[in-house]
Amino acid sequence: MWRLGKVGHKASRQGTSTHEIRSKWREQEKELRQAWRERKLVSKRLILNDEDEHLEEIMDRESTEKDVVALFQNLLQRGPEREAYLKELAVALRNPSAHPTFIGQVNSMHAVIGFLTGANATCRMEAIRCLHELSHSPHPNVALACLPASPYLLTFLSGQSAKFTELCLYTLGNLCPEGDHVKEKLLAQGLVPALAHCIENHRHNHLVVEAVGFALFQLLYANDGAEKITKMVLASSLPLMVISVLTPNRRFAVAPAIECAWCLHYLASSVEHGGALLAHGALSQCVALLVALGGVIAKGKKHEGLELLICPLLRCVGNLVSSCSTENLSAHVADVRIVVVLSTIVKVYLQTQPALAKEGAWVLNNLTAHSSTFCSALMTHNLIPGLIILPFSQDINTMIMRVIANIVHNKKEFCVQLAHLGLLPALCATLRMGHHEMVTLSMDVLFMLITSAPQVAEAFVRQGGRPHLEAIQCSSEGEVRQKATHLLEHLLPGSA
């Protein structure tokens, strides 16, 4: 198996056992997978009310802090004007400098919560807007001041008003980054079942589903207690709900899919939980969505948010493939067209989004490492020529060389065909590189080629490859020099 480690010789004079080589591969794969477990940075989100833009325009920002105090005092007075005062307060709180002033007023949060739980629907909406503005505050103590409202926000998630529910979700999501103790409190209050119930009730409302995804990811992103939170989420109906959002159909929308894909990525990045997600159909769903997006990707046109969706989908597939046994992989990834989409991603995004191209190459590597079916698919769809002529990029080219190593290792009958597709000139070029890993990989691939198909050795010599190995033998030391010597011994004696 040629996963994410260095490719070793099938017959080595150093006597390295297959078990030792594979153990080394697994250790290197673990390190590389850890490096690819980048998490989407937590970020608070503010949902603006377009209807109030005219109020914001006429307000004097320099006097906003005074306005906040005056508006709060007016709110304490009974009367029909309180609706208007509360609306103006929500707008005034868009100025972050006013936040500490507001929470510094005696019983200010108590008053807002009173409006939030009152009978007046208009006041309830403006009160949640006030809390939402405060939850987005850059001042940590301000956001923490909103915590007494959290039990009510969770209760309101079962309500019928989509807009009100959306604001509650973003407010709760904004509170999560304030500390693990905040998450502990929200979990104890029932945040996980509340989110599950909410997405079930509003599964056809894209805005609410997107907000649930945002709140869930903010919850999952944890420094401490991440395993506990992950287990609670996996034990709920949330994974199935999240996966169901990743189905391309007439109701498909990119924004909620992005949020849910990032949530799934966070869950899938843990090897321990891969089996549970595989059982839910997460891998097949992500593959199906990537294949469905293949036509859009191939056009290479700028599509807002598409890259943000492709990235977590790729990470989910790559991690879940690693959690899936070789025998069961075909059941989860039945559509071999995924290799076409992955190759397209590598080529389309190599210049504009190299990190995304690298993710695509990584998934290609994992698929071909686990199953010879995908090795054959790359050959059947004639994708290799387009991959071996990619402009040099250290991460991309080394990963593509691993993919080729997987093909040579799993499907030896393709060795001669690979030589005819232009692999030997590419190897001659990579052997001249000063990049240690690339040179080593190239020699490993060449060794498998010439030992599997002797005629490839003759073709390599005709391509003028022998001098490159001799140069490596003279200028290198240790394992690299031994590999070069070993290869030269397998070429035709006396060839020039």
Per-residue pLDDT tens over the stretch 270-288: 767 788 999 999 999 999 9
pLDDT at 52: 52
The mean of the pLDDT values for the chain is 85
Q: Which residue has the higher pLDDT, 40 or 8?
A: 40
> How far does CA 166 lie from the centroid of its chain?
24
Rounded CA-CA distance 138/130 in Å is 15
Rounded CA-CA distance 1/321 in Å is 14
Least confident piece of the model among 9-23, 31-45, 158-172: 9-23
pLDDT at 36: 38
Those residues with Cβ within 8 angstroms of residue 217's Cβ, 6 or more apart along the chain or in another chain? 40, 42, 173, 259, 262, 263, 266
Question: What DSSP designation does 281 have?
Answer: T
pLDDT at 496: 42
Those residues with Cβ within 8 angstroms of residue 249's Cβ, 6 or more apart along the chain or in another chain? none
- Residue 117: phi and psi, rounded to 5, are -100, 5
Q: Say what angle helices 206-220 and 180-188 make with each other, to 10 degrees.
A: 120
Burial class of 57 by CB neighbour count within 10 A (0 to 12, 13 to 18, 19+): exposed
Q: Which residue has the higher pLDDT, 43 or 133?
A: 133
Q: How many other CB atoms are there within 10 angstroms of residue 385's CB atom?
A: 12
Residue type present at position 269: S
Q: Say what angle helices 306-323 and 18-35 make with each other, to 10 degrees.
A: 150
pLDDT at 25: 40
| Domain 413-496: CATH class, spelled out | mainly alpha
Helix (H, G, I), strand (E, B) or coil at 96: helix
User: For the whole model, what pTM was predicted?
Assistant: 0.86
Block residue for tokens 């029909």: 80
What pLDDT digit, counting tens, does each position of 320-364 carry?
Answer: 998 888 888 988 999 999 999 999 999 999 988 899 999 999 999
